[in-house]
Amino acid sequence: MLPSQIKLAVDLLSNNDVVCIPTETVYGLAASLYSEKAIDKIYTLKGRPRSNPLIVHIGRKEDLFNLCTEVPAPLQQLIDRFWPGPLTILVEKSDKVPITVTAGESRVGIRMPNHPLTLQLLQALPFPLVAPSANPYNAISPTTAKHVQDYFGTQIPLILDGGPCKQGLESTVVGVENGQAVIYRQGMITVEQIEAMIGSVLVKGEVGEKQVAPGMTAKHYAPNTPTLLCEHPEIFAEDAENKAFLLFDKKYASLPSEHQYLLSESGDLEEAAQRLYQCLHEIDHKSYKQIICERFPDHGIGRAINDRLLRAGGGIVTQ
């Protein structure tokens, strides 16, 4: 028997409306893949340009094969290992995927999220969902139901509260070009993990590249407070007033202690990723004039954190 909130979500989604859903990465604003009216509402609510494609979410691995024409072998290996989980595959779409969802491209991003509430919802529905992050376009991604409520209030008829997101960074997006596996967006599944399974991969998604997957715009995941990615935050010691410092695992004696925010005192990159957006939301609600973000170790999840922080600042980095 379905819980009442799931029943309500099924009813809303079946009647051309939108619902906020929790995932292990961030909260998503969901609509039926086949409801143009609800998809229009998503784009309107978010202020999202139609050139930005949507990721399709499914509740069973076998649902994938109705939505694409083929699954290249490297992607099948990754699915077998990482689904359900924070992996989006970019594959040639079938006729069942509206071209409007893919922003006119022939490929579609598909993933199977790893959150019990959302999996239950997906498995109760007769259609897949599209679900970009539940925030205004380019704003900080939401990792709690409260973040979504703060953004949209009563504009969304139902927010399924699944608690804080356990991983906190968007999914890794992987496709294949001319037989070569390509990462278009870095995320919680790292380059190292993928290469350990399928061999070398090409990493794309640099600022300025053609957008074929969500999260590739130069400015994205951005606080309202001007943000800068920095190799050495201590260079701002002489001018630290009204600045917040988002740091990895240690504070700097030369900076005001109360202005420093650590993401992981133990130096755990997974913990830092999980706390990143929550901390940015917290800082952004204070009266700082600028957020200085420390560059993270450039390996593992650190690469994905650096990507988000770089885009939060509009692609600007300083020494």
Q: Could you check whether 4-203 and 227-318 share the same CATH topology?
A: no
For residue 314, the model assigns a pLDDT of 73
For residue 206, the model assigns a pLDDT of 65
Its pTM stands at: 0.93
Cα dihedral 77/103/154/276 (nearest 10): 50
For residue 211, the model assigns a pLDDT of 56
For residue 205, the model assigns a pLDDT of 72
* Residues in CB range of 178: below 8 A, 6 or more apart: none
For residue 256, the model assigns a pLDDT of 94
The whole-angstrom separation of Cα 280 and Cα 309 is 10
Q: Name the maximum alpha-carbon separation found in the chain.
A: 62
10-residue averages of pLDDT along the chain (319 residues): 89 98 98 97 95 96 96 97 98 96 96 97 98 96 97 96 96 96 96 96 74 59 92 92 96 95 97 97 95 95 95 70
For residue 213, the model assigns a pLDDT of 61
Class of the domain covering 227-318: alpha beta
CATH of domain 4-203: 3.90.870.10
Enumerate the H helices of the chain as residue ranges: 4-14, 36-46, 64-67, 73-82, 116-124, 145-152, 191-198, 269-284, 301-312
> What is the rounded end-to-end Cα distance, in angstroms, of the chain?
57
**Token pair listed for 65:** 């094969």
Locate the domains of the chain by residue range.
4-203, 227-318
